[in-house]
């Protein structure tokens, strides 16, 4: 098996264990648009961050269920170099596989996503990290905080 296939297989099991139903392993291996465009290289996540990716995927999954419309992962694991290049925070949890950026699949849903994410974050006791941006939201398994 290739490294990608190994990661897919490991994530498949971890997502099932965590009860994730909407997000698929390949979505958690998203390398980001700047990588796809060939502007700056990202890398697949190291094995040790996979359990963390599956954990943050459960937050994403709960948000997806709460929204009632499809979300797509636009940024997942980042190498430190990639994180710097895309303007990530210096201690970004993306570098630990503990953060996901999520955008609505349908354009025009961004404000709905922001509202739903804030409501979910409040209803869950503000236990995780939520960043709201004009076109996407960031969720992470860090301490409860929002921006």
Q: Is the separation of the CB atoms in 111 and 102 below 8 Å? A: no
Question: In terms of CB distance, is 5 or 134 closer to Zn ion?
Answer: 134
Instruction: Name the DSSP letter for residue 94.
Output: G
What lies within 8 Å, CB to CB, of 145 at 6+ separation is 126, 129, 130
The tokens 């509202």 sit on which residue?
115
Phi, psi of 65, rounded to the nearest 5 degrees:
-65, -40
Query: What is the smallest separation between the CB atom of 53 and Zn ion, expressed in angstroms?
Result: 13
In the bound complex, what is the minimum distance in angstroms from residue 87's beta carbon to Zn ion? 10
Q: Which of 64, 138 has the CB closer to Zn ion?
A: 138
Residue 129: CB minimum distance to Zn ion, A: 9
- Minimum CB separation from Zn ion for residue 122, in Å? 20
Q: Quick one: 95 or 99, whose CB is closer to Zn ion?
A: 99
Residue nearest to Zn ion (CB): 138
Q: Which is nearer to Zn ion, 20 or 141 (CB)?
A: 141
Backbone angles phi, psi at 16, to 5 degrees: -65, -45
- For residues 64 and 95, what is the distance between their CA atoms, to the nearest angstrom? 23
Instruction: Write out the residues near Zn ion by the rule CB under 5 A.
Output: 99, 101, 138
């Amino acid at each position: 098996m290739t490294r990608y296939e190994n990661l897919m297989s490991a994530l498949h099991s971890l997502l099932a264990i965590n009860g994730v139903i909407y997000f698929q392993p390949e979505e958690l291996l998203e390398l980001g648009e700047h990588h796809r465009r060939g502007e700056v290289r990202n890398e697949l996540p190291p094995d040790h961050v996979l359990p963390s990716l599956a954990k943050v995927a459960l937050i994403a999954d709960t948000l997806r269920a709460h929204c009632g419309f499809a979300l797509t992962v636009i940024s997942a694991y980042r190498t430190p170099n990639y994180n710097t290049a895309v303007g990530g925070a210096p201690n970004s949890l993306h570098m630990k596989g503990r953060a996901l950026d999520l955008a609505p699949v349908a354009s025009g849903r961004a404000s709905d996503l922001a509202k739903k994410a804030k409501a979910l974050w409040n209803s869950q006791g503000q236990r995780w990290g939520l960043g709201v941006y004009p076109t996407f939201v960031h969720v992470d398994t860090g301490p409860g905080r929002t921006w």
